[in-house]
Structure 1
Amino acid sequence: MLAIEINKLYMRFKGEIQKVQINYLVVLLLLTERAIGQFIGAGITGGVSHFIGDVGNYGIHMPQGYNFGLAAIYALNPHYSIEAGGYYGVVANDDALSSIDWRRNRNLSFRSFVYETHGRVNFNFFPVTGRRGENNSPFIFLGYGLFAFYPETWYQNRWVKLRPLGTEGQGTRLSDKGIYPETSSFILFGLGYSITISQIVNVYFETGFRRTDTDYLDDVSGYYVDAVELAEIRGPVAAALSNRSIVRFDTTDRLRGNPTNKDWYVFTNFKIIFKLSSSREKCRTGW
């Protein structure tokens, strides 16, 4: 009798039971999909650098510097991951390479050492799980970072640090600005392509644009100052580097740079990430 009653109850709720089973299966599949895409990884990166600012080429041009660093990634699912990185780089440019006549005559050049750290969010356009057909995707990223920079220029067969000289009269009676900070921040965005090589290795090709919050990455921003007065205050090297024009002209109240635009730098990199832990491996090994 008990078996008969149980059977009646089953037949009565058979439809609801099947719905629950189907919903459970769908949820299980979604969770499995999420788990397969999850991993924690770390690796190395390196590449070339571009500078876009007041000195040298403007826009697309050949890279004038390099960079390398470390990165750590936590993939939340097949589409999203968060990443942290620490990079060292050199950005550089030279007015002699510019297509703009007045820049070539201005004759300024620089290199700047950059030490940065950043965090970002990556988004894959297609799911990346490591399974067949899901092992590569273009991606975009957005983030924020902090960096320190130290501009120099080549003068009389040696590299001269520019910031302490105040080449635009910073920190003197010749300017209303103080010596600029050697640290700043940036908004980071870019795009790239990721490829899963194996269960433990991912590679990435990417270009990241950094819109900085400083206009002094190249030591150029504001106005020329009187070279004679600057020489009296900061010395002859500061005066010489404040105006290196090939054809001299009256620089009174003339702009040396563009104070309304902040500097940009760009890193184009190849990155290798080694998976330290992945949910897929855990499922297979029973961890």
Structure 2
Amino acid sequence: MKKLLLALALILPLCGFSQDLDFGVTGGIAMYSGDLTAKEIAVYANDFSWAGGVFLRNRFSRFLGFRAGLTLGKIQGDELINSVNLQRGLNFQSNITELSLLGEFNLFHVSYPRNRTVISPYLAFGVAFFTFNPKINYKGQLLELRPLGTEGQGLTGYPNRYSRGQFSIPFGGGVNILINDQLTLGAEMIFRSTLTDYLDDISSSQVMYGDILTRKGELSAAISNPLLDPTRPENLEASYRRGGTHNDWYIIPALTLSWRIKNTGKSKSVYSKFMECPRF
């Protein structure tokens, strides 16, 4: 709750200091990169899912704006489908709800003779707060992973249970096509570097199989490490790490459409009567 209040405190004041204000919608795909991918920064087409949202863009000038957004989406990963670890075969899926604040820095504008369309590439960087809840498809049942404590979370000598509300650092870029001073089309790719390694419920924590089996139960142990047989006494002393040391990512490439709902003229496009070079 404290993290959510902090996120709202960062975002809401900007809505009251608007110059030119746009309302927009986004639609695209969500991609995951983490411990169930072969590399720390890698994506697989089989893991693609949906994403969409709404935003308010506060334009202070033709070159600078801030965007507060609400994004919903779904991320997922599967070792079997992606041929990452066929023997272990873990999988996860999670819905994402994100509040973000992005600065948009327009690099230049390009327009053409007698054409009021303006093309404007931009870079984006900011901060976001998101919630997630990883689940696993285990023998046809969809189970929440956090309560299972698959890495001993909550036990003495192990980390506390991870929070399902976390911050991320979104960054990327895109291009806006200003049809006129009221309507803008866009396409963008925004990467989210999260501050958690538990999007997929897998981290680099050292785990003792016997602790999970005896103190969390057979189901937690079976999901924690499917490769170990709980009936073999020697496996109780087995120690392992389920993932790597890097935090997880999710990436959303999307199309955007926005309308001007408040127009002061501060960010009004300047159209060319003749062919021009990009205007910085």
Return the TM-score normalized by structure 1. 0.76
Matched, 1:85 2:66: no
Deviations 1:238-277 (CA, angstroms, capped at 9, x unpaired): 121111249999682322111x211111011111111102
> How far apart in 2 are the matches of 1:211 and 1:282?
30
Q: Which amino acid aligns with 1:116?
A: E
Give aligned pairs, total. Answer: 241
- Alignment RMSD, CA only? 2.8
Q: Which runs of 5+ in 1 are unaligned?
A: 1-37
Match of 2:171 in 1: 189
- Quick one: which of 248, 255, 264 aligns to 1:263? 248
The structure that has the greater radius of gyration is 1
Shift of 1:124: 1.3
Is residue 141 from structure 1 mapped to residue 124 from structure 2 by the alignment?
Answer: yes
- Give the helix-richer structure, 1 or 2: 1
8 Å contact from structure 2 (residues 60, 267) kept in 1: no
1:67 offset after TM fit, Å?
Answer: 1.1
**Structure with the larger strand share:** 2
CA distance 1:247–1:274, change in 2 (3 Å): farther
Amino acid across the alignment from 1:256: R
* Cα distance, 1:282 vs structure 2: 12
Q: CA distance change for structure 1 residues 246 and 139 in 2, over 3 Å: closer, same or farther?
A: farther
> 1:218 corresponds to which residue?
200
Task: Quote the offset at 1:106 in angstroms.
Answer: 2.3
1:128 deviation in Å? Answer: 7.4
Partner of 2:59: 75
Partner of 2:239: 253
Matched, 1:109 2:94: no
Q: Give percent identity, aligned residues only.
A: 29
Partner residue, 1:155: 138
Give 1:229-248 correspondences, 5 Å limit.
Answer: 229-245=211-227
Any idea what SS the aligned residue of 2:162 has? coil
Aligned letter for 2:255?
Answer: F
**Letter of the structure 2 residue corresponding to residue 46 of structure 1:** G
Report how far residue 121 of structure 1 moved. Answer: 0.6
Give 1:88 deviation, angstroms. Answer: 1.1
Which of the pair has the greater relative contact order for Cα pairs under 8 Å at 6+ separation? 2
Q: What is the Cα deviation at residue 113 of structure 1?
A: 1.4
